[in-house]
Amino acid sequence: PLINPGQIELPSVGKTANPPVAPLEVSVDRDGKLMLRDRDRGGAERKVSRDELIAAIRDKQKRNPDQAVVIAADKDVRYEAGLEVMDMLQQNRVQKVGLPARPRN
């Protein structure tokens, strides 16, 4: 049997107005010092105080409420040090805070 070819109407996909935003990266080193990396501003790490960190993240999240923050720590840093930073950010109403994860191989 022959099939009569017809025209198929495919659904259209809209474009998103905002491309995904790279997360802000907060690093905790062995000495407990905080470093902030903003890939939208060149990606260079800079040393920040706790107050500077909160101010920088709040400023970014005011401009983009979907701005995520990732907290990473040196492998020799106590686990609690990373959690303290996460807790500090959450107490200051910083949204979308998480920890990085490695994909399984």
The pLDDT tens digits of the residues spanning 6-56 come to: 555 656 666 555 556 788 999 998 888 999 999 887 778 899 999 999 999
Exposure string over 46-85, b if 16+ CB within 10 A, otherwise e: eebeeeebbebbeebbeeeeebbbbbebeeebeeebbeeb
Per residue in 49-90, pLDDT (tens digit) is: 999 999 999 999 898 888 899 998 877 888 888 888 989 998
Q: What residue type is assigned to position 33 of the chain?
A: K
Strand 45-48's sheet: what is its strand order? 45-48, 34-37, 24-28, 69-73, 97-98
Per residue in 96-105, pLDDT (tens digit) is: 888 776 665 5
pTM exceeds 0.75: no
Q: How far apart are the first and last CA of the chain?
A: 48
pLDDT value, residue 55 = 93
Give the separation between CA 85 and CA 57, rounded to whole angstroms.
Answer: 13
Give the separation between CA 79 and CA 87, rounded to whole angstroms.
Answer: 13
